[in-house]
Amino acid sequence: MTASPAARMAPARMAPARMEGLDIFRGLAVAGMILVNTPGSGAYVWWPLDHAEWHGFTPTDLVFPAFLCAMGVALGLSFPRTVDAALWKRIAWRTFALIAIGWAWQLLVRPDLANLRFFGVFPRLGLCYGLTATIAILTARRAADGHAHLRWQAIAGAAAALLLFYWAAMAWGGDLTPEGNLAGWVDRTLVGTQHIWRHGKDAAGNVVYDPEGLFSTIPALANVLLGILAALAWKADPQRALRWIAIGGVVLVAIGLALHPLFPLNKKLWTSSFVLLTSGLSALLLVLSVLAMRLPPLRTALGPLRVFGMNAILGYILSLLIGLAGMRLGFQARCFAWLQGWVSDPWLASFLYALAVTLIVLAALLPLHRRRIHLRL
C-alpha cells in the first residue's frame, strides 16, 4: 500500500501536468460499479441501473468502460519514463495480480476448480492493462536520455486497427445473437462452457457467451488506448487539452451512435460502436471532472468520489465482499424487506440498499484515505 498509481509512476518533473480530476472521474466509475452491482433485489432494479438486455445501451453500461478509460489516462500520464527490466516486472506483476484477484473471487463465490470462471472484471482489467502497456511501450519513441515518449499516432492507429479487426471478425465469423457470435464461439472453444459466465445463456438455456470473455477483450483494449490519448493531449498542452478532449468525446459519441445500425451497441459483445460511444462519454465525464476540481464548492462536494478514485480496487473488492456476505448471511434480504416496508416502493427500496452499501464502502475507505494509504498492486 502506497501512493496511487498515477502519482507514483509519474516522474517528479512532470508534476505540473498531473490531472487532478482523474481521481474524481475514476471514483465516479467505481461508485457507479458498486451502486449497480449491489441492489437490494435483482428483481427490482430501475432500468438506468441495469445493463441492456442485449443490443442497446443504458447508463450502467458505461461504468466498466469508463474505468478502463481512467486506467488509460493514468498510464498515459506516467510517461515519458525509462523502460527497463523493473518496469516490465511491474507490468507483469500488476497484470498477474489483477487476474489472480479475479480467480480468487470466483473461487470464493464457487469453490469449484472444475467450473472456475476464467474471465470476469478483474481478469479483463489485468489483460487490458498488460496488453495496452506493452503496445504503448513497443510503439514509443526513445529519446537520447533513454526515456520512452508515447506517440499519439501509434496509439490512435492501434485503437483503430483493433476496432476494425473486431468489427470485421464479428461480421464475417457469425451473427450477433447470443449463441451465434464469434466471440462466444472462441471462448467456448478455448476454455469450454464450464469456464465461462454461467448466466450467459441463449433462449434454450445453454451457456454460450461470457461478457468479459477473451475475444471481446480485443476491442476493450481500445477503451484504454483512447484514455491514453486523452492523457497525451493533457500533457502536451494542459491549458487547451480540455477543449480537444471534449471535441474528441463528441466526435466519438457521434460515430458510435451512427454505427449502431451497422454494428449495434452491445456491452455483452463489447462491439466497436459500444467502445466509441463509451470512450466518447468517458472523455466528456473526464472533462467535467477536471473542471469540477477548479471550483472550490464542487471540489469539496465531490470529495467522496476522490476517496473512491484513490482506492478504486480496494473499494470494489469491499463491495463484492459485502454483497456476497449479504446473500450468504441473509441480511441483504432482511434489509431489503425492512426498507420496502418503510418506503413501500420495492424499486426505491432496492436502490436505497445499494446506496447504503456504497456509503459503507466509503466509510471503510475514509480512514485509509486520511492516512494516505492507497492500495497499489
Stretches in the chain below the pLDDT threshold 70: 1-18, 377
What pLDDT shows up at residue 214? 96
Question: Do the bridges between strand 141-142 and strand 81-82 make them parallel or antiparallel, or are there none, so unpaired?
Answer: unpaired
Whether the model clears a pTM of 0.85, i.e. scores above it, the answer is yes
What pLDDT shows up at residue 40? 94
What pLDDT shows up at residue 12? 34
Between CA 196 and CA 116 the distance in angstroms is: 8
Tens digits of residue pLDDT in 332-358: 999 999 999 999 899 999 999 999 999
What pLDDT shows up at residue 16? 37
Of the candidates 21, 217, 252, 19, the residue with the CA atom closest to the CA atom of residue 130: 217
Q: Which residue has the cell 475507505?
A: 365
Contact (Cβ atoms closer than 8 angstroms) between residue 27 and residue 310: yes
What pLDDT shows up at residue 18? 63
What pLDDT shows up at residue 312? 95
CB atoms within 10 A of CB 132: 28
The DSSP annotation for 199-219 comes to T-B-TTS-B---TT-STTHHH
Which residues touch 32 (CB under 8 Å, ≥6 apart)? 59, 60, 62, 63, 66
What pLDDT shows up at residue 144? 83
Q: How many Cα neighbours within 13 Å face the side chain of 62?
A: 22
Structural domain boundaries in the chain: 1-50+302-377, 67-292
Q: How many Cα neighbours within 13 Å face the side chain of 177?
A: 9
What pLDDT shows up at residue 4? 41
**Phi and psi for 338 in degrees, rounded to 5?**
-65, -45
What pLDDT shows up at residue 2? 41
